[in-house]
Each structure stands twice: as structure tokens, then as C-alpha cells.
Amino acid sequence: MTLPPYDPPVRPPVLPRTDLSYAVEDTVVGRLLLAVDTDGVLLTCAYAATPALQDRWLQRLADTVSPRVLHRPADTDEARRALTAYLSGEQRTVALPSALTLATAFQRQVLTALEGIGYGEQASYGALADTIGAPRAARAVGTALGGNPLCIVRPCHRIVPASGGTGGYAGGPEAKAYLLDLEARGRPQP
């Protein structure tokens, strides 16, 4: 019997000692955790309806970006203003620099492809899979969207089932319906 080669455990990455600031914001679509780096770049805009979800996102930030994740709402003011402007219909995007630092390589591919789906438009999971060159990966696309670290900013709510309905969403069906309706009302009519 041949044993597989020994793979030593991978060491955790050596992370920079940079501060990340976060705040938890109650919005019309639910409780969101927002985190920014020292340059104000948004790293997370994620649904955190429960303390466990909030802790999970904070741990991902600590494990992936920096162990110094600090509750400093004032540092997230610009992000919160941009999010509020979008959710109120004043803006069509969350106009803020963001980074897909918490996304996997496949998620980055999927979330980047969302840029081709404009405000008020929708596409199916299968169509998005086609866009990234993986036509049989509609379910994998759905899974990638389900873990979107930049909800609303990277508008995964615009992806719906080909069969109709709203489909899944990290913030729940009511939040997704709200976002789709918000965009439908603000979309220019032909």
C-alpha cells in the first residue's frame, strides 16, 4: 500500500498590520456589515442579520485581510452615505471604491461579470454562466453569488432564475424584491 505524499499544513498568510474599520447598519433591506480599509476602500457590504453572521464576516476579514478589525463607524461614513443614496433611489450605484479581497477566484470572475448588467436590468443564472464561459455552471454561479462579499455594490440581486421569480438572495426574498423594484422604478422608460 502506497501512502500519499505528506503535505505539511499550510501556514496562515502573514497579514499586514493595517486597521480595518467596520460598522453595522440597519437599512431598508436589512442589517448590513460594512468594512473599509485605511484608504476607505470598501471590502465588505454583507448581510449580517444575526450575531453569528456578523461574526463570520468579521472573522473572514481578520483571516484574509488583517487581524486588526475595529468597530469604528465614523470611518465607514462615506460608505454608509453611498449605500443610503443608492437605497433611496438618489444614485444608481454605490459610488465608492471597492475591492473583491474576500472573494474566491471564481467569485471574482462571476462578480466582475455583473458589471455588464445595468441598473434595472436582469439576467438569469444561466446567462451569467454563459457570460463567464461556463455555460453548464448556473448552480455554481448561484453559489458564488450567495457568498458575495459586496452585496448591493456588486449587484447580484439582478440575477434571477430563468423560470421566473426572484430566486435566492443572502438578504432574503423581501430584500431582493425591494432592490429589483427600486431599480425598475428608477429605470428610464423607452
Spell out the domain ranges in the chain.
Answer: 19-87, 105-186
SS3 of residue 30 by DSSP: strand
Mean pLDDT of 156-168: 93
Residue with the three cell numbers 431598508 = 28
**Tens digits of per-residue pLDDT, 103-137?**
999 999 999 999 999 999 999 999 999 999 999 99
Residues of the chain with pLDDT > 90, as a percent, come to 84
CB 125 within 8 A of CB 164: no
Which CATH number fits the domain 19-87, given the four candidates 3.40.1350, 1.10.3470, 3.30.160, 1.20.120?
A: 3.30.160
Equal CATH topology for 19-87 and 105-186: no
Hey, what CATH topology would domain 105-186 get? Arc Repressor Mutant, subunit A (1.10.10)
The whole-angstrom separation of Cα 74 and Cα 77 is: 5
| pLDDT at residue 186 in the model | 81
| pLDDT at residue 154 in the model | 97
Residues 6+ apart with CB under 8 A from 136: 129
Instruction: Tell me the sheet residues that pair with 34.
Output: 23, 45
Active site residue 151: no
| Per-residue pLDDT at 2 exceeds 50 | no
| Per-residue pLDDT at 67 exceeds 60 | yes
Mean pLDDT of 54-63: 94
Q: Which is nearest to 76 in space by CA: 100, 55, 94?
A: 94
Catalytic, out of 34, 58, 110, 156: 156
The answer, as to whether pTM is greater than 0.85, is yes
Residue with the three cell numbers 463567464 = 132
| pLDDT at residue 16 in the model | 65
| pLDDT at residue 86 in the model | 96
**Tens digits of per-residue pLDDT, 11-40?**
555 556 789 999 999 999 999 999 999 999
Which pLDDT band holds residue 8 (cuts at 50, 70, 90)? very low
